Structure 1
Amino acid sequence: MTETVRVYHNARCSKSRGACQLLEEQGVPLEVVEYLKHPPSRDELAALLRKLGLPAEAIVRKGEEIYKSEYEGRSLSEDEWLDALVAHPILIERPIAVRGERAVVGRPPEKVLELLA
């Protein structure tokens, strides 16, 4: 049986929908987390970043209005970025797919297939 892939998903995002579709086409069982409705806790986010091997700032959506008004041009610590992502989950890049101890940002959506190798 194929291990379930958890996808932090925003249904309004075409890249996120595309990543889910690619995994479904491969017959991969999905656990879809609509992270805007059910945001990850600070601890969950920190664990996710460890699996991604990225600092928090690397998954910040810098085109979002809240980023432009609150964070653009600021130099924040890792803890401050984590706090910002928890306070404003819209800033979290999507989709993020997790399988076991590995995770990838699905941009482009085909990146999620790396978890199947």
Structure 2
Amino acid sequence: MTIKIYHNPRCSKSRQTLALIREHGLEPEIIEYLKIPPTPAELKRIIKSLGVPVREVIRSGEAEYRDLGLADTSIPDARLIELICQHPKLLQRPIVVSGQGARIGRPPEAIEAILP
């Protein structure tokens, strides 16, 4: 089973989540999403797998959130997805995807439900 982690090595929760995956004897595919952002189609699949609204994967504390006016709830989901892909710093982290679903690793233990 392939496990992917959308990872930011500068984030302590992301590092803890990666360590937790490895403690389970697994080596995930590591995607440094700040360097290689997901495509809109990939992000849409991830959000569907998470089973959450698009806004739940947006980091509202980032300057880009304010600069882009993302508090405006009339912005359609498709546009939000485009903006997240253009400004990947907005994406919640870490996100782990496996054959059993996807989870945001906050707290890191949340991902254990989708590990084999």
Question: Under TM normalisation by the shorter chain, which class is it?
Answer: over 0.9
1:109 maps to 108
Runs (5+) with no aligned partner, structure 1: none
How far apart are the structure 2 equivalents of 1:80 and 1:37? 21
Q: Residue type of the partner of 2:52?
A: L
Task: Say which is worse superposed, 48-57 or 12-21, in terms of deviation.
Answer: 48-57
Residue from 45, 48, 62 that aligns with 2:46: 48
**Count of residue pairs brought into register by the alignment:** 115
Give, in whole Å, the separation in 2 of the partners of 1:7 and 1:66.
23
Q: 1:27-66: CA deviations, max 9, x gaps?
A: 0121100000011001000111111111211100011011
The 2-side partners of 1:34 and 1:110 are apart by 20
Contact 2:100–2:115, Cα closer than 8 Å, also in 1: no
The alignment's TM-score, normalised by the length of structure 1, stands at: 0.92
SS of the aligned residue for 2:46 comes to: helix
Q: Structure 2 length normalisation: TM-score?
A: 0.93
Instruction: Give the AA of the match of 2:28.
Output: L
In the TM superposition, 1:64-75 aligns within 5 A as 64-75=62-73
Q: Distance in 2 between matches of 1:12 and 1:71?
A: 26
Residue from 8, 12, 15 that aligns with 2:13:
15
Q: Structure 1 residue runs of 4+, over 4 Å off? A: none
Percent identical pairs in the alignment equals 38
Deviation track 1:54-96 (CA, whole Å, cap 9, x = no partner) reads 1211100011011122224312111121111111110000000
Measure the CA separation in 2 of the matches of 1:49 and 1:60.
11
1:35 corresponds to which of 33, 36, 46: 33
Read off the aligned partner of 2:9 and give its amino acid letter.
A
Q: Tell me the distance in 1 between the aligned counterparts of 2:49 and 2:30.
A: 18
d(CA) in 1 for partners of 2:58, 2:101 = 19
The root-mean-square deviation of aligned C-alpha atoms, in Å, is 1.2
Give the match for residue 90 of structure 1.
89
